[in-house]
Structure 1
Amino acid sequence: MSVPHPTPADPGMTWRDRKRYLFIISGLLPLLIFVGWGLVELTGWEVFWFIGPIVFHVLMPLADTLVRKDPENPPPELVGWLENDRYYRAIIYMLIPLQYVATFLAAWIVTQQDISWIGYLGLSWSVGYLTALAINAAHELGHKKETVNRWIARIALAPCCYGHFYVEHNRGHHVRVATPEDPASSRLGEAFWTFLPRTAIGGIRSAWNLEATRLRRRGDRVLSVHNDVLNAWAMSVVLWGAMIALLGPALIPFIVISAGVSILIFESVNYLEHYGLLRQKTESGRYERCAPRHSWNSCAMPSNLMLLQLQRHSDHHANPTRDYQALQHMEDAPQLPSGYGTVMTLAMFPPLWRHVMDKRVFDFYDHDPSLMNIHPPKREKVLARIAKHKARA
């Protein structure tokens, strides 16, 4: 779609969102379950049950390498117009029911069809990756003001049993991001496998405390139907309880694997988004306002199309309610070496991660450790590595 965009230099200039019809890729990704099933039937190769990790760890990084970067931003004057275009929101509304359909299909296959244990594992694993996409959709809708969008966000979170994210992300993470107090902000020197239990447990604890505080201020009981954390968890119990009643207890490992994988992938993304970055305290003792420099950014086009421009994370934290299609690439923000598909794979291997990412943190802060969010147990080792890297620079 093109719109007139007058400028002093060229009053007749026209701006076109060249990614407009490519964003539908994200909405159609749940159909990968159908593709994987078809390929298994066609070839007999069970490896295609693992179509989720194949796409996210092989094809998406390959595409990010081959396709040019996308630093283009919509003109600031057109951001409001772009956000009001309902086409982009429709893609998210399409993604969530397709995700449910794909999940139900996979659940039926693993319980009602003759499938090997390798196929069971692969299909459950693939559903986990696609459920992580639903978390991303919930992330987008959970920031909106409309009640219906917030309820849809909770529905999207039900399959992964991570509904408390709705509370913690909006009222916790966005307040404490890039500080030592935030369980979802990883610290320099902190391995992903150390971060994972810290953020998972810390996120639940934070969501519960935030919701308990909100309810007490209203004069409501914490253990009540008004508790958004309990409501979200109840949706997961009802969903999977009904599915087990329909398909039998053979579905239980599928639930555990798919939900576990989706949480793993989601938290690996959390891990890379703010690694080592720190908001400084002002003279008043409060943290400075969150700015683009407090989030890692990437302009890799294929993964941005698949992930609703989640990689333009610097602008998201500066403007949390801004719709994904209008997010800006921030050139002055710290830049990831590649798209999320590549970088979240690196996160699984701490030595590789440190080799690639730590020096980027050192350089971004000009080797000043007081500006970095350092993992306390690793502080001495990190300081030694900073000094060594500075000597080489």
Structure 2
Amino acid sequence: MSQDPVEIDSTETNGAGPVQVQAEATQEIEPSILTALPHYLPLGVFPLILLAALWGGWWLLPPMVFMSLSWSFDRVFGRDGRIMDPWKTPKHRLIWHNLPVWSWAFLWPPTLVFGLWQILVADPFVWWQDVVLAIILTMEAQAVFVVGHELIHRRTTWERRIGEFLLSSASYPQYATEHVYIHHALVGTPYDVGSAPKGESFWRYMPKEIVSNLVNSWEVARERLARRRRTMWHYSNPFWRYGFGVAFWYALVFWMGGIWAVPVFAFLGLSCVFSMKISNYFQHYGLRRVRLENGRWEKIMPRHSWSADWKFSNWMLFNAQRHADHHAVASRQYPLLQVSLDESPELPGTYSDMMNIVLKPKKWFEKMDPLVDQWRKHFYPEIDDWSVYDSPLAAKRPDAFDTIVEIFGAAPRLAKWIERNPELLDNLQEQEFLDLDLPKGFEQDEEFESIARRGLARVYWTYEMGVQEMKDLIVELPVVDAKETAEIVRNWSNDKVFQIGMHVMRGNLLPAEARTALSNLSEASVSTVLASVVADFGERYGTDSVGEVAAVFLGDLASR
């Protein structure tokens, strides 16, 4: 199995312009101890950490150097391109490839415990050596998400449980639920907070992704239990395991070092999460699945993930760079991941390169946005306007995506308004709006349908809903004083203005009819607020103090 080399457009970091990068052809290999041997490299750091924790001093240097400089070897070893045939390779032949994953998973917990013991209990070193050892543990702990991620996708229960326990050591076990059941199902859509839209910086992305990860994983667990008619207290709730796992680590840290050690351990976990969120951010940045005419999202394909295929990183990260194929076939074990040269967009550098520029938004946008545009032109030449896919509004209100698309395409001013006030979209579910917005296609005669649609909205907004009728509705709103009246009336009138604007956009109201409705709305709102201000002033200072009040109007309202 092989693929011909393809040319991939990239852009230099300095924005000098596009350059051509040629991806190497793939080479098929067979599973064996020789082909698996490079993936044992990540285990080499454990004896170095052990020696550093035992002796300190100069022994702290080797693991620091190993973890700090190893990523520069990507340029030395070059690209990989070696793949196995997933359809011809039985799982039992992957034993030599699975051993380093299992070994790392079993070596990390005792290594972490021993390192913490040396720092918090034995304390044989001076303070700066404790700090360096803590940094070493933190750096190695970042691999928790590499190995944990691999294991939570496995089919065997014991492997998934080990993956969850590893994630607990980073205080982030709910990732096992969110990643599998939300991210993989919704990747590349506004529903997935983990898929960063074009133009969103990492610093805006990270906090909301962390919050949504916890909230959404809890909601998914609740829904899965509800489908089996079980409560959240049932023992099968994964959050019991997550809670016990995190409690174990924090109780251990508290026992060894007291209360001050707890925030230090939490910081270690946060550092791991921070590193993981960086890779999450650039793995899907700007890549969107398209909404089909039937209302469904297109199938997840390799084109919806950024990938890389550097040899040394593949060895150290268990092929995590082949992210596109991982999303295409989530259950595929890491040795079987493919290199989709003709389908997946390729990152313009190594994972280390990406991590260095992600934290600098201006530099990141200069580097990646042109590549996102190239990707869109290549895979979706029929789409000219991606603004709705890039808008934060689509991420905030994915339930109203079709309506947002409609507004962005037909009414740019309305689009800007709902971007600032996404809650306005709720008005489209109000019965007042639904009763007037007849569904398209209810009548075979298009002209008759148009007349009927316009007739309902026209009668309602220009005849039935006059100034007095609007005042009567406003009076029913609960208010305390003039200030609250002004606030509530403003929100109420904004809702009505948005409804009127939507009717105009959909052809239910003519502009002249909308002007009449808006003038009525303005008169009712202003007169109500004005009356409330006068009444409030009279209550505070006495009716004798109330003089005459004037209001100045412009536009159509001024002619009344």
Match of 2:317 in 1: 307
The aligned amino acid for 1:281 is R
Distance 1:291 1:257, change over 3 A: same
- Structure 2 distance, partners of 1:161, 1:311, is 24
Question: What SS does the aligned partner of 1:144 have?
Answer: coil
Q: Counterparts of 1:253 and 1:30 in 2: how far apart (Å)? A: 25
Q: Secondary structure at the match of 1:280?
A: coil
Asked if the contact 1:188–1:372 (Cα under 8 Å) also holds between the matched residues in 2, the reply is: no
- Matching residue within 196, 204, 214 for 2:206: 196
Is 2:244 the partner of 1:228?
Answer: no
Match of 1:342 among 353, 378, 393: 353
The answer to whether the 8 Å contact 1:300/1:338 transfers is no
1:183 and 2:193 are equivalent in the alignment: yes
Q: Distance in 2 between matches of 1:103 and 1:238?
A: 13
Aligned residues: 362
1:125–1:261 CA contact under 8 A, matched in 2: no
CA distance in 2, matches of 1:322, 1:245: 40
349, 354, 358: which is aligned to 2:365? 354
Q: In 1, distance between residues paired with 2:225 and 2:258?
A: 37
State the Cα deviation string for residues 194-219 of structure 1 (Å, max 9, x = none). 11101100111110010000111212
Counterparts of 1:117-266 in structure 2, within 5 Å, are: 118-266=128-276
Name the CA distance, whole Å, in 2 between partners of 1:115 and 1:191. Answer: 41
User: What amino acid maps onto 1:210 in structure 2?
Assistant: V
Instruction: Quote the Cα distance in structure 2 between the aligned partners of 1:238 and 1:76.
Output: 38
Distance 1:30 1:178, change over 3 A: farther
Distance 1:316 1:39, change over 3 A: farther
Alignment pair present for 1:26 and 2:47: no
Residue 108 of structure 1 corresponds to which residue in structure 2?
117
Contact 1:107/1:251 (<8 A) preserved: no
From 356, 374, 389, give the equivalent of 2:390.
374
Q: What SS does the aligned partner of 2:290 have?
A: coil
Backbone CA RMSD of aligned residues: 2.9
Deviating more after overlay: 319-328 vs 63-72: 63-72
Partner residue, 2:102: 93
Normalising to structure 1: TM-score of the pair? 0.83
**1:344–1:247 distance in 2 versus 1, CA, 3 Å:** same
Q: 1:94 to 1:161 in 2, by over 3 A?
A: same
Percent identity between the aligned chains? 23
Counterpart secondary structure, 2:78 = coil
Change (3 A) 1:193 1:35: farther
| Cross-structure match for 1:391 | none
Name the SS for the 1:256 alignment partner: helix
Cα distance in 2 between the residues matched to 1:128 and 1:59: 16
Question: What is the aligned counterpart of 1:365 among 366, 371, 376?
Answer: 376
Deviations 1:351-382 (Å, cap 9, x if unpaired)? 222222122112111294529942528999xx
Equivalent residue letter for 1:331 = L
**TM-score normalised to the size of structure 2?**
0.60
User: Which structure is larger by alpha-carbon Rg, 1 or 2?
Assistant: 2
Aligned-residue offset at 1:150? 1.4
Q: Which residue of structure 2 aligns with residue 294 of structure 1? A: 304
Amino acid at match of 1:150: R
| Amino acid paired to 1:354 | F
> CA distance change for structure 1 residues 287 and 60 in 2, over 3 Å: closer, same or farther?
farther
In structure 1, what is the Cα distance between the partners aligned to 2:293 and 2:253?
A: 55
The alpha carbon displacement at 1:167 in A equals 0.6
Distance verdict in 2 for CA 1:14–1:71, change over 3 Å: closer
CA distance in 2, matches of 1:230, 1:76: 35
How far does the alpha carbon of each residue in 1:304-334 deviate from its partner, in whole angstroms, 9 at most, with x for none?
1111100000000011111101111110211
- Tell me by how many angstroms 1:230 deviates: 3.5
Amino acid of the residue matched to residue 352 of structure 1? K
Task: Note the C-alpha offset of 1:39.
Answer: 8.7
Alpha carbons of 1:31 and 1:210: their partners in 2 closer, same or farther (altered >3 Å)?
Answer: farther
CA contact under 8 A between 1:278 and 1:294: conserved in structure 2?
yes
Q: Could you tell me which amino acid in structure 2 is paired with residue 96 of structure 1?
A: A
1:244-269 deviations in whole A, cap 9, x for unaligned?
Answer: 21443342243122101101011111
Q: Quick one: distance in 2 between partners of 1:300 and 1:14?
A: 16
1:73 to 1:94, Cα distance in 2 relative to 1, 3 A: same
Residues 282 and 288 (structure 1), Cα distance of their counterparts in 2 relative to 1, 3 Å cut: same
2:50 is the counterpart of 1:41: no
C-alpha distance 49-203 of structure 1, shift in aligned 2 (>3 A): farther
Higher mean Cα deviation, 321-330 or 114-123? 114-123
Could you say if the C-alpha distance between residues 257 and 76 of structure 1 is closer, same or farther in structure 2, counting changes exceeding 3 Å?
closer
Residue range with higher mean Cα deviation, 222-231 or 277-286: 222-231
Q: Quick one: distance in 2 between partners of 1:114 and 1:15?
A: 48
Question: Comparing both chains, which one has the higher relative contact order based on Cα–Cα distances under 8 Å and sequence gaps of 6 or more?
Answer: 1
Distance 1:50 1:92, change over 3 A: closer
Q: 1:71 — aligned with what?
A: 81
State the distance in 1 between where 2:82 and 2:76 align: 18
Q: Which is further off, 30-39 or 244-253?
A: 30-39
Q: Distance in 1 between matches of 2:363 and 2:99?
A: 39
Give the direction of change, closer, same or farther, for the CA distance of 1:280–1:118 in structure 2 (3 Å limit): farther
Structure 2 gaps of 5+ residues are: 2-26, 396-407, 409-560
- Would the alpha carbon gap of residues 373 and 88 (structure 1) be closer, same or farther in structure 2, given more than 3 Å must change? farther
* Residues 183 and 202 in structure 1, CA contact (< 8 A), matched pair in contact too: yes
Contact 1:61 1:342 in 2 (8 A): no
